[in-house]
Amino acid sequence: MDRNDEAERLGARLRALKERSGLSYDALARRAGISRSSLHRYCAASSVAQDYGVVHRIATSCGATSAELRQLHRLWALADAERERQVPQEEAAPGDVVSEQTDAGPAEAPGDGEAVSVKLPIQDLALAPGSRKPRTRQGRRPLHRRTVALTVAAAVAVLGTVGAMSLVSAPDEQAGPADSRILSSPVCSPVVSMGQHDECVREVQTLLERHGAVIGVDGDFGPQTLRRVTAFQVITGLPPNGVVTAATKTALYESKARMDTWSPEKARQRIREVFDETPDDAVAIADCQSFLDPLHILPNTNGSRNWGLFQISDTRLRELGGTPLKALDPEWNIQAAKRLWSRHRDFRDWPHCERALRTKASAAPTAGSEKN
């Protein structure tokens, strides 16, 4: 792919982190779990990682701080969006069509978030893509010079007449109403992402709230907004990268998807019903993991994520035959957690919270130990 400014900045930041770490390309590639050639391409800005998780692993292997990780996330999002816009269009064969997408979103994104295609017959194009000479239909003799001149003159006359009629019939008409969508206006950058604080973030939060998300509207793109954006992308079938690019902007305005989910009270009640043998501990684990928020999403230092009420990891999700969308369904998440608990009849899959439970239990006073 051709280089772009965003990729250059991302590559420069990765190179700086690598130099600071003192690691060789071989050593850093092993730590990040990628090939040396891939690492070199990312640092040289000759390509951009398809998934932010790769960038995250490289950065954390170099000892990047939280602030640096947020900056890298934004740089990667900008570079990824620019890469989508720079994908070269294949030259169409004679008789085929050329498609121009108005949105950089994935082709398989369902519903209202889909890109709109405009298809033009190739013979109607003045020039074939990538060529400098007009393309003629095979087997046709070239038109006589006088015939061409007469045809052009007639076309000019017709267009002039139509233009004059339009001016006479509607002298005060405008080209059409301007797009009132804030996120689509020049005020907002192509990518709205983590660490940003402005009216564009406030618009994202307002739109998420209209879709049913529980979110504070303060114009600050922090961890909560990141989680809600990612959940919205999962629900609408978009790549869950947590950044608001063109496809996500369109979906925020046009999608009918809802983010309404269970309240903490309902989640607590259902967990107690499913974990009937250990209801108190199960509720405590879920509360520790997600604050009983069914749409809670947490990124890990290795680039993977945990999902939903019991924060089912990507690895466990694959083992259980689930998907991020299923994991955000509170009923599925609770039942999946019960399956994990049933393997050993304990909460070893949640070691941090399980240790907290044990500490709490050991600190509790034994019977008869309290003084009057």
Residue 325 tokens, joined: 């969308």
pLDDT tier at 179 (50, 70, 90 boundaries)? low
- Gap between the terminal Cα atoms of the chain: 77
Q: Is the pLDDT of residue 314 over 90?
A: yes
Q: What is the pLDDT at residue 354?
A: 84
Query: Which residue, chain included where needed, has tokens 């792919």?
Result: 1
Please calculate the CA angle 27-28-31 and round it to the nearest 5 degrees: 90
181 pLDDT tier (thresholds 50, 70, 90):
very high
Which pLDDT score, from 0 to 100, does residue 366 have? 53
On the question of pLDDT at 297 being above 80, the answer is yes
pTM of the model: 0.61
Specify the range with the lowest mean pLDDT, choosing from 79-93, 153-167, 262-276.
153-167
pLDDT at 134 over 70: no
Lowest mean pLDDT across 122-136, 167-181, 183-197, 231-245: 122-136
> Could you tell me the sign of the dihedral formed by the alpha carbons of 283, 287, 293, 298, in that order?
negative
Q: Is the pLDDT of residue 117 over 60?
A: no
Closest among 252, 258, 279, 243 to 329, alpha carbons compared: 258
Domains and CATH numbers, the chain: 5-85 (1.10.260.40), 182-254 (1.10.101.10), 264-363 (1.10.530.10)
Summarised one tens digit per residue, pLDDT across range 77-110 is 778 777 666 654 433 333 333 333 333 333 333 3
The listed range with the strongest mean pLDDT (20-34, 158-172, 335-349) is: 335-349
Query: For 25-34, 116-125, 293-302, which range has the lowest pLDDT when averaged over its residues?
Result: 116-125
- pLDDT surpassing 70 at residue 206: yes
pLDDT at 122: 30
